[in-house]
Amino acid sequence: MRTADIGVVGLAVMGSNLARNFARHGFTVAVYNRTYAKTQELIAEHGGDGDFVPSEELADFVASLKRPRKAMIMVQAGKATDAVIESLAELMEPGDMIIDGGNAHFENTRRREAALRERGIHFVGTGVSGGEEGALNGPSIMPGGSAESYESLGPILEAISAKAPDGTPCCTRLGPDGAGHFVKMVHNGIEYSDMQLIGEAYDLLRRGAGIEPTELSKIFSEWNTGDLDSYLIEITAEVLGHTDAATGKPFVDVVLDQAGQKGTGRWTVQIALDLGVPVTGIAEATFARALSSGTRQREGAVGVLSGPDGGVDLPESFVDDVRQALYASKIVAYAQGFDQIAAANAEFGWDIDLGSCAALWRSGCIIRAGFLDKITAAWRGNPGLPTLLAAPEFTKIVTEAQDAWRRVVSAAVQAGIPTPGFSAALAYYDGLRSKRLPAALIQGQRDFFGAHTYKRVDREGTFHTEWSGDRSETEL
């Protein structure tokens, strides 16, 4: 019997593209899908990509794998994943590995890893980013799991991963149990934020400055040659330049303006709340999607709530102002995302290296961008940075951009164009750099109605004022 280097369970487009990617890199790939027709389809259409071992039964699939067995599952998150894991585990032996490449919640990954560890099986929760094309031609891969599993699995994943401009594979073991899926979740949160900011830039230039989509497509292409060079800017130019065949209108005008979401942005925000990390850019982006889809409220408000609707007088320089505001806000989004990973390190006892995260996002993934080289260098140069914004290079960028940033947010407010992403990012920046925040007043209020106590600026200790009495202060 032939023995496969790795196997893939679940041959929908992501699974089959990953299987083809493994095969194209010279690995023998076992493939299994619940409906055998899908497996046959893969072999019929792409069998020429390399050496596949198709199986109709899961037991044969497992038997066709070299020891220690490596089975990558690409099935629906939730119950389907649990069911496949259980069926595989029953057929496997200690030392074997189950790799979950889907967008699983990291808490589920932790649970599954702990349960399988008891049975001697390695469970490797792995983020895979880059969509269908990335899966086939080189995704960014974010594995968690044991160091032992990475010894034999790592080289295979690294071989099929995207390569950064300096040639290093965009695949690094990030830490035990849920670390990989956590990093992928934050990647998606940043993706939400980035997409929202680009959306706001588009809205400001279209509704505010009256620039048509074809022209905007050129502006985004131009931006893609500078600091903003990134996959998301590149595809924005493509989408804006596309004309709907049926109507001859700009494609962007015929699409219903209700953004969907599968949940990873929401998870990022939920967990950030638990960790107490202000990921305001990601939160605003997630809420903006919810607002867009809140049809009942929107229908009740359009034509009822009054205000300006773009179309204000804007100077020629506004386009470049928006570019700078976008760049600065984007840096804030990344800074917040990295803070969340650092907080998770402390909470879950991980040691995820922020420089390695930035490095493996440089190619293959959805948020790949030229400036990730700078972020990588910033974390590697000083892993103890209190915030990415404090890295000299980024301090300089946001300092230089801030006049434009403020003009853009002011213009947006005047024009009645919602820019929750730009505004939240600027407010975060101003919040961080404020010597005094109104939190002092909030502490006073809390102490007033709930005796929640406060600390003083001038001496150590915890204090309470007798608000309903003589207003004397006691030290507790």
Binding site for ligand 6PG (CB under 6 A): 103, 129-131, 188, 191, 260-262, 264-265, 365-366
CB of 390 to ligand 6PG, least distance (A): 28
In contact, 142 and 175? CB cutoff 8 Å: no
Are 76 and 103 a contacting pair, CB within 8 Å?
no
For residue 36, give both structure tokens: 């055998």
CB of 431 to ligand 6PG, least distance (A): 28
Closer of 189 and 420 to ligand 6PG (Cβ) = 189
- Residue number, nearest CB to ligand 6PG: 129
User: Smallest gap, in angstroms, from Cβ of residue 103 to ligand 6PG?
Assistant: 5
CB 201 within 8 A of CB 326: yes
Q: Which is nearer to ligand 6PG, 260 or 469 (CB)?
A: 260
Rg (CA), the chain: 25
Look at residue 31 and give its three-state secondary structure.
strand
By the 8 A CB rule, do 232 and 195 touch?
yes
CB 180 within 8 A of CB 126: yes
Q: Check if the beta carbon of residue 51 is closer than 8 Å to that of residue 28.
A: yes
Q: In the complex with ligand 6PG, which residue's Cβ is closer, 122 or 289?
A: 289
Nearest to 410 by CA among 285, 322, 280, 281: 322
Active site residues: 184, 191
Q: What is the DSSP string of 75-96?
A: --TTHHHHHHHHHHHHH--TT-
DSSP-derived secondary structure letter, 47: G
Nearer to ligand 6PG, 250 or 364 (CB): 364
Pick from 420, 391, 150: nearest CA to 283: 420
For strands 97-100 and 122-129, give the pairing: parallel
Which CB sits closer to ligand 6PG, 267 or 371?
267
Query: Least Å distance between CB 279 and ligand 6PG?
Result: 16
CB of 43 to ligand 6PG, least distance (A): 26
The distance of closest approach from Cβ of residue 143 to ligand 6PG in the complex, given in angstroms and rounded to an integer, is: 15
**Cβ contact 329:294 at 8 Å:** no
Closer Cβ to ligand 6PG, 149 or 264, answer by number: 264
For residue 129, give the 3-state DSSP assignment. Answer: strand
Q: Greatest CA separation found in the chain?
A: 88
d(CA 391, CA 381): 9
Q: How many CB atoms lie within 10 A of CB 156?
A: 18
Using alpha carbons, select from 34, 145, 128, 129 the residue that is nearest to residue 83.
Answer: 34
**Mind giving me the DSSP string for 271-283?**
HHHHHT---HHHH
Other beta carbons within 10 angstroms of residue 126's beta carbon come to 25
Residue 467 beta carbon to ligand 6PG: minimum distance, rounded to whole angstroms: 47
With contact defined as beta carbons under 8 Å apart, do 73 and 61 qualify?
no
Q: Name the minimum Å distance from CB 430 to ligand 6PG.
A: 29
Is 205 or 366 the residue whose CB approaches ligand 6PG more closely? 366
Q: How far is CA 208 from CA 133, 134, 203, 322, 419, in A?
A: 35, 35, 7, 11, 12
Task: State which residue, 103 or 109, has the beta carbon closest to ligand 6PG.
Answer: 103
Min. distance of Cβ 129 from ligand 6PG in angstroms? 3
**Residues present in the chain in total:** 476
SS3 call for 308: coil
